[in-house]
Chain A
């Protein structure tokens, strides 16, 4: 992406630089994967609609920051964006450094509620049904939600105002890393630490873990499964929204591309599986690892593979899946996935 700058660096510096960029990308993957794992662990649902939740997060953030809302009615007006009404003009007048974080917060709330709504309406009735049925429902939801996003927000590239100018970078010696990436990493660390503290120490965290292990026993303790399910989906949705809000400035320089967002979100699945589907920590490590691997492979593997007799351009796009397969060959339950604890 920032090829011009890295040309002057030594190989070692270049690797560090690319790793930092990879960590920023990995932070996005890590958050999506973490949300995915939380939902899987607490409710047993493999949520393939998770990428779609991120899409919603991205576009809701865009709408709020840019002050443009999609026209929902009449149907023929789909894809049209209307500016905020007159009395909201104070909002678009706000400084972007204030407007952006508030918009992200609102988007987080919106997507969290959307997650809870999906769980309540589409998945609650499917508790105890075959995994296959549940997976297909989430796949269907992915299609429905992303198609709706596509038709509400005209999918052409949109510029989202962000507080991070493309040129603003943090410089350490010869290295430079964009502020958007630095923030992505910081936000990821804060969210992940916050989540783990919540998961480990709070009453609801214990309830979530207990329900994940044995739903009936948890119910016998007075833990409401519906509360835990709703909470898991809200957390997952919130993390997807945060990931989306970080992805646009850090990786796309503020330009929203529907397909890029949608397919990047898919990379969180190999991240989650590689880390171990039932391990939140594994999701974070897997996400970061895949981010770094992808950026490094773009730089070092792509040129080599493109020169092969059978040319393999854009190998970095499938590299996460290759990595996942390699890890699964050695550890079938993922890097940190637990084998069943059993007294012998």
Chain B
């Protein structure tokens, strides 16, 4: 189980981005982390995967634990070795390398020949398209294929917990469906998933549990089915409004009421 307790993150020594975030990803679950732009979702992932340093950020309070062991002070490489791997936002594949080389880079920490072959086989079954294009330059794949490559690359290290940052970003609805099914498939093989998404409908559709973040705090959490029914969530993330789902125009909302605060 991946647990984040009371996490506080500061960028450049001054910018307080996370203000006491706590949540957990139980083994074998899909947990969704939702929130608007700038809420700090990506920062949470960076804090877990040890990539804060690249962005001049640091964990100032709180802790991240994997099965009871603290990992917030470990470096990115050892966190990957322990089985937590992040798929960065915007795919970030190695554009000039071939598809196969991208996957080999993903399997860098996988020392064991046998288990890396197994991981490769698994990626090929999940994403047959990558097998067909294994020699082509990754930068020339389509957006959906690139996202699959990014996920496949992360799976090469045989992770216990997969951190997905906006996997549906910039994809056509059909491809979003496909990515969604893939996430469910990956999860059904025992990998826990922490899913950061703006597409709340998709995320809540597959997650067991959801958390909603706003300006560095978790403002709401619950079973995803329950969250999906919540009036505020429906209004702000799903674009649906109250009983009967009547469309509401911002024209009718008084100016001072437009800014919605959670829990106030």
Mask for B98-119, Cβ within 8 A of A = 1, else 0?
0001101110110000000000
Minimum distance in angstroms from A125 CB to a CB of chain B: 13
Pairwise interchain contact B153-A221, C-beta atoms closer than 8 A: yes
| A13 CB contacts on chain B under 8 angstroms | none
A338 to B79, CA, bound (A): 33
Give Cα A341–Cα B77 distance, bound, in whole angstroms.
27
A221 to B76, CA, bound (A): 8
Listed residue (A209, A213, A340) with the most chain B CB atoms within 10 angstroms of its CB:
A213
User: Closest chain A residue to B96 by CB distance?
Assistant: A341
From A207, A214, A338, residue with most partner B Cβ within 10 Å: A214
Shortest A117–chain B CB gap in Å is 21
Which residues of A from 304 to 344 have beta carbons under 8 Å from B?
A: 338, 340-343
CA distance A94 to B101 in the complex (A): 47
Q: Are B77 and A342 in contact (CB under 8 A)?
A: no
Inter-chain contacts of A220 with B (CB < 8 A)? 49, 51, 76, 80, 85-88, 92, 154
Contacts of B49 in A (CB 8 A): 220
B157 nearest in chain A by CB position: A222
A206, B105: Cβ atoms closer than 8 Å? yes
Among A203, A215, A222, A342, chain B packs the most CB atoms within 10 A around the CB of A222
Quick one: closest B residue to A338, CB to CB?
Answer: B96
Q: How does the 8 Å CB contact mask read for A244-263 relative to B, with 1 for contact and 0 for none?
A: 00000000000000000000
A217-B75 in contact (CB<8A):
no
CA separation between A338 and B96, bound complex, in Å? 9
A282 CB, nearest partner CB in chain B, Å:
14
Q: A222 to B108, Cβ gap below 8 A?
A: yes
B227 to chain A, nearest CB (A): 28
In the assembled complex, the Cα of A214 lies from the Cα of B138 at a distance in Å of 13
Q: Contact check, A209 vs B101: say whether CB atoms are below 8 A apart.
A: yes
**Chain B residue with the shortest CB-CB distance to A207:** B108
Q: Which residues of chain B are near A338, meaning CB under 8 Å? A: 96
Residue of A nearest to B141 (CB): A343
Q: How far is the CA of A1 from the CA of B41 in the complex (A)?
A: 68
A210 contacts chain B at the CB level, 8 A cutoff: yes
Q: Is B54 an interface residue (CB 8 A)?
A: yes
B76 touches A222 (CB 8 A): yes
Residues 116-155 of A, flagged 1 when their CB comes within 8 A of B and 0 if not, give: 0000000000000000000000000000000000000000
Bound-state CA distance A203–B94 (Å) is: 15
A: which residues have CB within 8 A of B? 203, 206-207, 209-210, 213-224, 338, 340-343
Shortest Cβ-Cβ A-B pairs, 5 listed: A222-B80, A341-B139, A222-B109, A210-B105, A217-B92
Knowing that A221-B85, A222-B77, A342-B139 touch, tell me 10 more A-B residue pairs with CB under 8 angstroms.
A206-B108, A209-B101, A213-B97, A216-B88, A220-B49, A220-B76, A220-B86, A220-B92, A341-B95, A343-B142
